[in-house]
Structure 1
């Protein structure tokens, strides 16, 4: 599918290709991919997989119907640490979609000091521009590297210093250059070319990586802060910063670092920023995912009285963005009609029905995530691609220490994590981080002196290290 962009006079300016990452991912395949990183929560995975596939289906509809099909936004209900944020984050990574996670409590009603909700879309566009820019720079990387080698060779073999001449003699040379002067100049240029080619060859072989060179680098000017006016002023600050000239200064650095800097600089010159911005806006409008956490904290409690800047006002400001409107950003207007919004909250005190009825209607899909049990913890410690036990094992291997988690040891860690969650606040899978840190504290501390040793983490080892803490309820609350 192609998205057309038109100028003010109606003529076609450019076409941007739709990203087709989802094309090869059926809902079952999306769930399978999410299973590699997140344990359980099948209903939530199923809901986001359907939402993602519906985007692909929408792109295949006739144009008149395509604009009518709005995304079915999702509310995830569940305690902390059960995988709400991780599901949304992994989903965005899966399809290279612009993704932003925000907390509803950070925003205030328009007109009050603080960030207004439209800044969510502005930040999302910034993320998309950075993402597309990185992709485009990767495409021109080889060409940019070649140009960087040329520039570095020119810096290392500069043009010879010419002696000042009188204006008359310069005119004479220009008007009637002698054969000897021309020949001398050609010889000098040929010598320079040969020397630079030799240096370039050495640079490519990495033989000059540790040499020090002096190159001109751009100095980033500090941002301009506008004080005394409420609201979001990021656009004004960006505009004022862009008016200030960016000075350059000479800096000494190793050839390897200089090559990296010059490659980046050359890649920037090779990409078309107008095309980057167009594609970024197109991605945001058609593939953007906004994850709004702590949505329950801005729900008005039943029986509450009086206005609240960070509650009902924020909900009312969210309404037009979730429903679909045009938001002004420094890159142009962005339509939010087809951005997927995923809201999440624990809803311990407030209920989803405490949200404004209009906002409830904008989130038609509700998914309840289940609290994690001991069996879930066992799976979290072993099944995911980068499970915690694998991470700790790899970390300690860098010191030459081998640790092995036995099955009964993993089950004991899971039991203790579940018990700690029941005695103190239930923080879900995050409790495993706390338990493992305490469990491996001595090994991590003494690892440099334990090179070549192997430690087996079995049930006995886990009990010896953690049983006393679990038995004392006060210690459990403070330590685990």
Structure 2
């Protein structure tokens, strides 16, 4: 330990610096407190919140331009290997997606860029408030996202930004600095003997042109950085879809990705999802959940810092297969309409209540895709609705005749690896949503895999109980045959690895009594 900061604390501080792009972490010292992390200033121990005059510069906070280096896919896989055993393809797929999410955080024009330009060219108006300035930042960000801004004078984004600036200036929420006005810029160039700028200087409609030009320059600067090559308009993203049996570790995998990135994590159960306006869960609650998760990571941070962190959070939408379309005519508000709302969420938008920008979040979907997923638990055709059965039919490997099977029948894991958009559509996912999803499968739960989980996983209930007993002077030893019996007992319950904790607890409860 050096200077009161342990290696684990230094790692957490580095992760926080990467998550926020170096905006907060350099000002903090991380100290352990009851096993957690408390954020303190190095000088006086105060929280992140500073004096209002220090936090704001002409109405907008000071924001750094640079981000820390992204976590590489190999680093992410090594982190996941400590807790999640097996499923190497799923780990690699999520690790690559997580890397590009970090790159996208640097490429997509967001709050930081807009705030930086407004801070450089504007000052507070007489009626300025934090809420109004934050509202303007969100509105300009949304305008730039929908229509990439450029030097074309007739571009939609340029007109939208000018209209927003004119509206907020008329209401005295902000004022453009004198040196940023087009006329003043033109006079400085005319003094060098030119006449080409005279019309530009006298044109009242070009009052906000200098500010819009600043957005264009900032955008180009971001494109020229080493990690951000390519146009910022390339913001399309594919959403990983983790397919696996119940208890195979889908949620744990997504949660550990978020932990390594030091980003807020939200687990959303799509089985309760309904169309907007109907009773049930609604995707509109996701921004609020992200903001609450960000508050846990930054308990002493400002609201603006929390919103910025929440806008890069990880959202795991589980049980997406429960909303597969199986209706024959009519309007199914629980399935088809819910999928449409889910598609809108994956496309991203700026939530006007919280300010959270979902277009920069990292979305991961998951599901088991069994016959029971679409309400056919008691149907004789339930097995035919399994996604593996759909793939099997597509590949021409279905069962022949009186139950005979093809000699080269692939395993369940091999079938799940072949899932594509057409299979998802046949299962009941709408084409627009199926085209956005990138399926990747979890390794099916087996006796050998369960034994590896007990022995290797950092979160193994058996290892945790052994350490707990060792602290009281009791050594717990279980033979290979004993572990095999535990694995069989867990598999017999048909819930993946979930019953493992309960089985181990009942096994050693007499020792703990």
TM superposition score category, shorter chain reference: 0.5 to 0.7
Do the aligned residues in 1 keep the contact of 2:84 with 2:457 (CA within 8 Å)? yes
* TM-score, normalising length: structure 2: 0.52
- In the alignment, what sits opposite 1:390? 463
Greater fraction of residues in strand: 1
SS at match of 1:402: coil
- In the alignment, what sits opposite 2:367? 345
What is the distance in 2 between the residues matched to 1:100 and 1:40? 24
Do the aligned residues in 2 keep the contact of 1:38 with 1:87 (CA within 8 Å)? yes
Of 477, 481, 490 in structure 2, the residue corresponding to residue 404 of structure 1 is 477
Which structure would you say has the larger Rg?
A: 1
* TM-score, normalising length: structure 1: 0.55
Higher relative contact order (CA 8 A, sep 6+): 1
Do the aligned residues in 2 keep the contact of 1:77 with 1:369 (CA within 8 Å)? yes
- In the alignment, what sits opposite 2:356? 334
* CA deviation vs aligned residue, 1:275-317 (integer Å, no higher than 9, x gap): x2222222222x211111111111112x544333322221111
- In the alignment, what sits opposite 1:310? 334
1:355 is displaced (CA, Å) by 1.2
For the aligned residue pairs, the C-alpha RMSD in angstroms reads: 2.6
SS at match of 2:299: helix
1:328 is displaced (CA, Å) by 2.2
Of 410, 417, 431 in structure 1, the residue corresponding to residue 490 of structure 2 is 417
Do the aligned residues in 2 keep the contact of 1:103 with 1:294 (CA within 8 Å)? yes
What is the distance in 2 between the residues matched to 1:45 and 1:316? 28
In the superposition, relative to structure 1, how do residues 291 and 19 fare at CA in structure 2: closer, same or farther (>3 Å)? farther
1:400 is displaced (CA, Å) by 4.4
What is the distance in 2 between the residues matched to 1:29 and 1:299? 35
Of 33-42 and 427-436, the range deviating more from structure 2: 427-436
1:18 is displaced (CA, Å) by 7.5
What is the distance in 2 between the residues matched to 1:408 and 1:19? 55
SS at match of 2:463: helix
Of 73, 92, 98 in structure 2, the residue corresponding to residue 46 of structure 1 is 92
Of 320, 323, 334 in structure 2, the residue corresponding to residue 298 of structure 1 is 323
* CA deviation vs aligned residue, 1:107-144 (integer Å, no higher than 9, x gap): 3211123342111112112221332225x4xxxxxxxx
In the superposition, relative to structure 1, how do residues 386 and 336 fare at CA in structure 2: closer, same or farther (>3 Å)? closer
Do the aligned residues in 2 keep the contact of 1:109 with 1:310 (CA within 8 Å)? yes
SS at match of 2:352: strand
In the superposition, relative to structure 1, how do residues 323 and 16 fare at CA in structure 2: closer, same or farther (>3 Å)? same
What is the distance in 1 between the residues matched to 2:233 and 2:308? 14
- In the alignment, what sits opposite 1:193? none
Greater fraction of residues in helix: 1
In the superposition, relative to structure 1, how do residues 346 and 15 fare at CA in structure 2: closer, same or farther (>3 Å)? same
SS at match of 2:315: strand
Aligned residues: 288
2:253 maps to 1:87: yes
What is the distance in 1 between the residues matched to 2:87 and 2:461? 19
What runs of 5+ residues in structure 1 fail to find an aligned partner?
4-9, 137-275, 448-480
2:485 maps to 1:439: no
In the superposition, relative to structure 1, how do residues 383 and 105 fare at CA in structure 2: closer, same or farther (>3 Å)? same
- In the alignment, what sits opposite 2:432? 358
In the superposition, relative to structure 1, how do residues 19 and 110 fare at CA in structure 2: closer, same or farther (>3 Å)? farther
Of 454, 461, 480 in structure 2, the residue corresponding to residue 381 of structure 1 is 454
1:371 is displaced (CA, Å) by 1.2
